[in-house]
Structure 1
Amino acid sequence: MKLMRWLTALCLLGMTGLASATNYTLWINGRTGGGTIGDYNSFTYWGPSSTAAGVNKKAVNWDGYNSIASQSYHIRDALDCFCTGSNWCYIATHSAGDLMMGYTLANYGGSARMKKNAAPNSSGVCGNSDGTSQTGWNIKWVRAASGAGGGSELADYGSWAVSDPLTQDLKTTTARAMYNHNTTRGIWFYMYAGAKGTAYSGILPGQDDEAVAYHSSGGVAGSSGGSYCNPSDWLCNDLALGTAANEGGSAKWSYHSVSFRDDSEAYNHYTSGNWQGIVSVVRNAMVNSAL
């Protein structure tokens, strides 16, 4: 009888542990920022906070101005808060948020992280849950809207007419040398590449969304950018879907897969304060997949 009571208690304890597990959807902004740092409910960068954007959505805000290295701790705070212990995260990024997430995983994804209680203070820092640690974070996958992990020629040629630290990081050779883009800790980056460019974005090679070219938003490997296009454009090599090598033989970084290529040239770079542009495609994917 005692054995039966002990087994029942053990089962109930296991069920309680399962019930406490929670999934979160984290949105990591890009250049210019806008949301209140430390406030995970501040979606100013993206659009109305009432818009559906994945289960238990949180805005992981950083200033979008200073260097990736100096701002990474905000992302680490959020990942510690919501993606440790029994909790798991889906991640969505935009533009330089891809560079930020890649840098954070490559440099800190193999480190010991204290398990947190998912109850952040006003600075966005959570308390310890049970005093134990784990290696890295519980992340199901990353979906990158116009990922700038490979940098942008707009930074190379000074088209933004600014000298802020982030613009220096976004130079193509700098971004590509900043960390090992193949080191994702086994976490998949699903890339969404927009192609509604304009005449003034002519310095961006191949297809682009006015700010980031396909070589970056498509996760193409290498030390510098190249020219990649949609199949309808005969002037440059096609960006291949999935993990396949691109036309011409160039490879993608490990654990990078093109989920969406803007063959209709319908999506630009900008959220326009209402979840628009290429972010709208990722938002729809998060609603349907981040459950």
Structure 2
Amino acid sequence: MRIVITTFLLAMAGLSSVASAANYTLWINGRGGGGVVGDYTSFTYWGPASTAAGVNKKAVNWDGYNSIASENGKIRDALDCFCTGNNWCYVATHSAGDLMMGYTLANYGGSTRMKKNAVSNSSGQCGNSDGTTQVGWNIKWVRAASGAGGGSELSDAGSWAMSEPLVKDLKTSTARAMYNHNDTRNVWFYMYAGAKGTFYSGILPGQDDEAVAYHSSGGVAGSGGQALCNPSDWFCNDLTLGTAANEGGSVKWAYHSVSFRDDAEAYNHYANGNWQGIISVVRTAVVNNAT
């Protein structure tokens, strides 16, 4: 009888361990910030927190002002909290959030992490779960709305306040040299490129969404930005879907694939406090795929 009870208790413990596994959806903001740092329920940057945005959604807030390096610990805290142990994460980024996530994986994705319990304090840090460690994080994929991993010419031209440390990081030459963009730790980055530009978009080469050009939002490799467009533009090489080389021969970074190209030029850069612009396209994709 004692053996039966012991076996039953061990089985129940195993079930408890399996039951504790969960999937989370992390949303990483870009320039400007707005959400309360450390509060994973604060979706001010994006829109109403009540809006569907993937399973167990969490807002990974950073100030959107200081440098990528100085703010990166907040991203690592969130990944430690929700993407270790038995838990897995889907990640959605916007603009400079793409630069932040790429930097995190390239520089810290091979580091040893303590497994955490997904219960955070006011600083956004979680307690250890069982005292064991793992290498890197459990991430299913990243979906980038108007990814700024390749920087923006608005930063190059001084169209944004040049006193901001983040704006210096967003210069095209700086962003592209900041880390090895090909080193994603085998995590796929699915890119969503908006094309509803405006009158000052002449600063940005090719198609753009008012803030980021296709060369960046399409995850295109190289030392500098280049003009890439929709197929309807005869005077500019096409940004291709998927991982294929672009018209003219330029290629994407490893593990980067264009999931959406704004052929109708319908989506700009901005959330407008209501999950709008190119963010709306990513949100729909996340709702359909982050379960």
Structure 1 length normalisation: TM-score? 0.97
Provide the rounded CA distance (Å) in 2 between the counterparts of 1:54 and 1:265.
26
Q: Could you list the runs of 5+ residues in structure 2 that have no partner in the other structure?
A: none
Q: Could you tell me which residue of structure 2 aligns to residue 105 of structure 1?
A: 105
Aligned pairs (5 A) from 1:1-291: 8-291=8-291
Q: Measure, in 1, the Cα distance between the counterparts of 2:6 and 2:188.
A: 41
Shift of 1:120: 0.5
Deviates more, 1:119-128 or 1:15-24: 15-24
Give distance in 1, aligned partners of 2:55 and 2:231. Answer: 35
Q: Distance in 2 between matches of 1:274 and 1:162?
A: 28
CA shift for structure 1 position 284: 0.5
Query: Gapped runs of 5+ residues in structure 1?
Result: none
Q: Distance in 1 between matches of 2:128 and 2:105?
A: 21
1:193-231 per-residue CA deviation (whole Å, 9 max, x = no partner) reads 000001112110000000000000000001111110000
Amino acid paired to 2:97 = G
Structure 2 CA distance for partners of 1:10 and 1:153, relative to 1, 3 Å? same
Task: State the shift of 1:15 in Å.
Answer: 2.3
Helix, strand or coil at the partner of 1:192: strand
Measure how far apart 1:18 and its partner are: 1.4
Distance 2:103 2:268 in 1: 25
Give me the identity figure in percent: 79
Contact 2:220 2:251 (C-alpha < 8 Å) held by counterparts: yes
Read off the aligned partner of 1:162 and give its amino acid letter.
M
Shift in Å, 1:278:
0.1
CA distance in 2, matches of 1:260, 1:3: 58
Aligned partners of 1:73 and 1:106: how far apart in 2?
14
CA RMSD of aligned residues (A): 1.2
Query: 1:68 & 1:175 partners in 2: Cα distance?
Result: 10
For residue 66 of structure 2, give the secondary structure of its aligned residue in structure 1. Answer: coil
Deviation at 1:2, TM superposition (A): 7.1
Query: 1: distance between equivalents of 2:157 and 2:112?
Result: 39
Query: Structure 1 residue 171: deviation in Å?
Result: 0.2
Aligned partners of 1:236, 1:94: CA distance in 2, in Å? Answer: 25
8 Å Cα contact 2:162/2:168 also seen in 1: no
CA distance in 2, matches of 1:181, 1:201: 26
Q: Distance in 2 between matches of 1:20 and 1:92?
A: 23
Shift of residue 12, structure 1, vs aligned partner:
3.2
Structure 2 Cα separation of the partners of residues 127 and 152 of structure 1:
38
The residue type paired with residue 272 of structure 1 is N
1:3, CA displacement in angstroms?
A: 6.7
- CA shift for structure 1 position 49: 0.5
Q: What whole-Å deviation, never above 9, does each CA across 1:125-181 have from its counterpart, x for those lacking one?
A: 111111111000010000000000000000001011432100000000000000000
C-alpha displacement of 1:17: 1.5
2:203 aligns to what SS in structure 1?
A: coil
Distance 2:161 2:58 in 1: 32
Q: How high is the TM-score relative to the length of structure 2?
A: 0.97
Rounded to whole Å, the distance in 2 between the matches of 1:63 and 1:80 is 19
CA distance in 1, matches of 2:97, 2:131: 30
- Figure out how many residues of one structure are paired with residues of the other and give that number: 291
Separation in 2 of the partners of 1:285 and 1:202?
30
Contact kept? 2:219, 2:253, Cα under 8 Å: yes
